Amino acid sequence: MPSVRFKKILIANRGEIAVRIICACRELGIETVAVYSEADRYSSHVRFADQAICIGPAKSARSYLDIASIISAAEITNVDAIHPGYGFLSENAGFAEVCEASHLHFIGPKPAVIRLMGVKERARAFMREMGVPVLPGSPGVLSTAEEALELAEKIGYPVILKASAGGGGRGMRVVTQAEDLPGLYAQAQTEAGAAFASADVYLEKYIGAPRHIEFQILADEHGNVEILGERECSIQRRHQKLLEESPSPAVTDGLRAEISGVLRKAIAAAGYTNAGTVEFLMDETGKLYFIEVNARVQVEHPVTEFVTGIDIVKSQIRIAQGERLPDILPGPVELRGHSIECRINAENPETFVPSPGRITGFHVPGGIGVRVDTWVYTDCVIPPFYDSLVAKLIVHGCDRAEAIDRMRRALGMFIVEGIHTSIPLQQKILADEDFRAGRFDTNFIKRFMPGKG
């Protein structure tokens, strides 16, 4: 039995994830409150929620990131809980604390755990102590360039300097030789300080051609932890993922079982609850190394939902109600078939320049094994203020080859008129021989489109 039952949830987000959370709430019989900026007045999350409140102008800092406005909206509408989605306030420990202080359930991990995972070199030290493989690197934050030089000498070049509070690939510098280190160290500190209000930087071994592989976790408030397999997210441009799949073509059953085993213990020891993702890099020899934890639901969660049959967003809500994982999950976690997600962005497929504007024609594909998560419709306007994600097209097949064929036919039946989208680029990726053979790393896009990676 849940310790509480939510009657109403406020969704502190916009776009497709806000609609996704509304879907989960409707199936659970929970009412929803949408918040929106003036630019999103006609967005479908506003239409599908039971109530909607305008929380400010288009600029995120004055709407979707404005904690006082969001808490006021929650109090006026008398909700029980807040779902933060991804991005915006989802990994803001201070926001989770304000929710708790206002007697609102925050649908995510506890503030102290969000804070631990947000300080990347602390999360790294914690995972290493728990027996999770991490890359050789500094034990904590670097205090001087001399210390960095000494460590880099020991580890061997190339190394990477990373911002302790980093995110979105900012504050990182790759160092290939000692003489460049002092200058790049200063640059990384300055960039980190400007972007994250903390100039703390740490160092680790740099992998030249890694695969990005991440494990999905669910943990309840009673100590139960489940690992829902992994996602392969190596098809990315400038650290922005374009196409994701599950399972990874590079992860064997043995490796999955080994990593799942150590992760289960580490996540329980951290007191981590709700959904989360543990990101790893795979080196050229096939070994996985922890890089960071994302303490929230991910954009690419649907590929895991397709192969496991588990609704991750409903699980998040039920965990926050105090329910136990054995009561939430349909049975033991098993991976069935293969799933791929393509992000359909409003951008030029060749130059990647954003392409906001009015959608004049919109048709989504359907049929067996096809899912579309979107917030747009014919005649809606994509505002220029937020991310460019228009829709996610996700397919499921009995194996990887069928999933690729299904994705190609579904992309061919996806019509978006009036703006540019990434659909032609996704078709090129799916037709590529190396991609089809599962032979790729995070440099794939660079090799594929020289000068644009």
Would you tell me which residues interact with ligand ADP (CB under 6 A)?
A: 135, 160, 166-169, 204-207, 210, 212, 239, 279, 281, 291-292, 442
Q: Between 82 and 184, whose beta carbon lies closer to ligand ADP? A: 184
**Cα separation, 190 vs 158, whole angstroms:** 21
Q: What angle do CA 313, 241, 382 make, to 5 degrees?
A: 75
Q: Tokens for 10? A: 């406020």
DSSP per-residue codes, 356-417: -EE--EEE---STTEEEEE---TT-EE-TTS--EEEEEEEEESSHHHHHHHHHHHHHT-EEE
Provide the minimum distance between the beta carbon of 194 and ligand ADP in the complex, in angstroms, as a whole number: 14
For residue 191, the minimal CB distance to ligand ADP (Å) is 11
Closest CB to ligand ADP among residues 191, 226 = 191
Rank residues 100 and 180 by Cβ distance to ligand ADP and give the closer one.
Answer: 180
Find the shortest distance in angstroms from Cβ 64 to ligand ADP.
20
Q: Answer whether the bond into residue 247 is a cis peptide, omega within 30°.
A: yes
Segment holding 98, helix H or strand E = helix 93-101
Residue closer to ligand ADP (CB basis): 137 or 418? 137
Count of H-run helices and E-run strands, the chain: 16, 20
Helices 400-412, 423-431: crossing angle, 10 deg rounding: 150
Contact 295, 109 (CB under 8 A): yes
State the nearest-atom distance from the C-beta of 249 to ligand ADP, in Å: 17
Active-site residue list: 296
Helix ranges (DSSP H) in 175-230: 181-196
Contact 8, 32 (CB under 8 A): yes
Q: 111 or 210, CB closer to ligand ADP?
A: 210
Residue nearest to ligand ADP (CB): 207
Compare residues 291 and 313 and give the one whose CB is closer to ligand ADP. 291
Query: Min. distance of Cβ 337 from ligand ADP in angstroms?
Result: 26
CB of 443 to ligand ADP, least distance (A): 9
With respect to ligand ADP, which residue has the nearer C-beta, 240 or 348? 240
How far is C-alpha 135 from the geometric centre of its chain's CA atoms? Answer: 22
Q: Is 268 exposed, middle or buried (0-12, 13-18, 19+ CB in 10 A)?
A: middle
Identify which of residues 220 and 292 has a Cβ nearer to ligand ADP in the complex.
292
Per the structure block, which two tokens stand in for 182? 């002092």
| Spatial CB neighbours of 52, under 8 Å, sequence gap ≥ 6 | 33, 34, 35, 36, 46
Q: What are phi and psi of 11, to 5 degrees?
A: -105, 110
Tell the smallest beta-carbon distance from residue 168 to ligand ADP (Å). Answer: 5
Q: How many CB atoms lie within 10 A of CB 269?
A: 12
In the complex, minimum distance from the CB of residue 207 to ligand ADP, in angstroms, rounded to a whole number: 4
- Length in residues, the chain: 453
Separation CA 263–CA 132 (nearest Å)? 7
Residue ranges of E strands in 51-187: 51-56, 81-83, 105-106, 159-163, 173-175
